[in-house]
């Protein structure tokens, strides 16, 4: 009896030993395979690195069309390239920069419109996009007539799509100058904030008026015609920037159609929005008058 028990124990011990040896062999094989694959990956060279970077860039570009991403990855990706590139490369980067902001705005408004229950709100989204695109076209036509180069035209049109999305819709500025404007405007109590918002619009409105008068002095009939379209596009853009955009479609749908959402501070906030548009047009004027 004892002999049989000893025999069974020896068999069990033998099986455990064989299982342990098999596990060690399997583990060793996996380690060797991992080392081989790592070595192969490291030996692929610079070409594979470029392919990997291209794939990462493509993934980042895909983010631009996703509504709901409002942390401004576009500036973070393109501005370093714009500041360091030159020649034909710079124009190509600027074109991609403009298309990125345009695509972000179009995608957001398309999604916004699709979630609105009321026809008036769907029309609001369509009219706003049309107004911004008309403003960009007017800017490009006048700047080309004034002899402004392609790179500057692309830069300014990109800024229009950028401002439309960030200041009229939603998002955040990442560059130091614009961010400082926002931070300084929103310091202190509500009365101080409203006062600064109104002053911001008034300052850029007055500056734009003076510069526009100087521009018209040296324009011929065709130039005055293009400048008139350009000026009207600014007012059409302002008019299309409805305060209802500051509410989500779900919030609009939950209220009776036609509710204005006119709350304390809305007027001053709309004036600030107009100030950002006036500021953009002043910057465009500076580029055009440098060519006169």
**Cα–Cα distance for residue pair 266/178, rounded to 1 Å:** 21
Rounded to two decimals, the pTM is 0.72
Tell me how far apart the alpha carbons of residues 171 and 104 are, in angstroms, rounded to a whole number.
11
* pLDDT tens digits, one per residue of 205-247: 999 999 999 899 889 999 999 999 999 999 999 999 887 888 8
DSSP secondary structure code for residue 258 in this structure: T
Torsion angle, alpha carbons of 255, 115, 65, 108, to 10: -40
- pLDDT 10s digits, 159-200: 999 999 887 776 666 666 777 777 788 888 989 989 998 999
Q: Each residue of 25-68: pLDDT tens digit?
A: 444 444 444 433 434 334 443 343 334 333 333 333 333 233 33
- Report residue 204's pLDDT band, with 50, 70 and 90 as the boundaries: very high
Asked if residues 283 and 210 have their Cβ atoms less than 8 Å apart, the reply is no
The pLDDT tens digits of the residues spanning 120-158 come to 999 999 999 999 999 999 999 999 999 999 999 999 999
Q: What angle do CA 195, 183, 248 make, to 5 degrees?
A: 85
């Amino acid at each position: 009896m004892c002999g049989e028990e000893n025999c069974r124990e020896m068999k069990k011990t033998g099986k455990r030993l064989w299982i342990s040896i098999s596990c060690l062999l399997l583990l060793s094989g996996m380690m060797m395979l991992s080392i081989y694959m790592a070595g192969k990956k490291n030996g692929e060279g610079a070409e594979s690195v470029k392919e990997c970077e291209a794939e990462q860039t493509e993934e980042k570009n895909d983010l631009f069309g996703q509504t709901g991403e409002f942390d401004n990855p576009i500036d973070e990706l393109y501005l370093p390239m714009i500041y360091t590139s030159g020649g034909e490369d710079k124009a190509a980067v600027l074109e991609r920069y403009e298309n990125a902001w345009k695509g972000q705005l179009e995608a957001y408004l398309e999604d916004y419109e699709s979630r609105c229950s009321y026809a008036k709100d769907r029309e609001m989204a369509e009219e706003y996009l049309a107004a911004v695109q008309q403003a960009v076209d007017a800017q490009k036509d006048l700047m080309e007539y004034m002899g402004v180069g392609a790179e500057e035209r692309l830069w300014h049109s990109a800024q229009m799509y950028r401002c439309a999305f960030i200041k009229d819709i939603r998002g955040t500025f990442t560059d130091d100058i614009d961010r400082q404007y926002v931070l300084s405007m929103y310091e202190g109590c509500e009365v101080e904030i409203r006062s600064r918002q109104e002053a911001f619009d008034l300052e850029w409105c007055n500056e734009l008026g003076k510069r526009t008068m100087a521009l018209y002095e040296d324009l011929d009939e065709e130039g005055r015609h293009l400048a008139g379209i350009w000026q009207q596009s600014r007012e059409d853009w302002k008019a299309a920037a409805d305060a209802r955009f500051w509410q989500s479609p779900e919030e609009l749908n939950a209220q009776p159609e036609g509710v204005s959402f006119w709350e304390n501070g809305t007027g001053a906030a709309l004036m600030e929005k107009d100030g950002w548009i006036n500021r953009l047009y002043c910057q465009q004027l500076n580029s055009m008058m440098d060519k006169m």
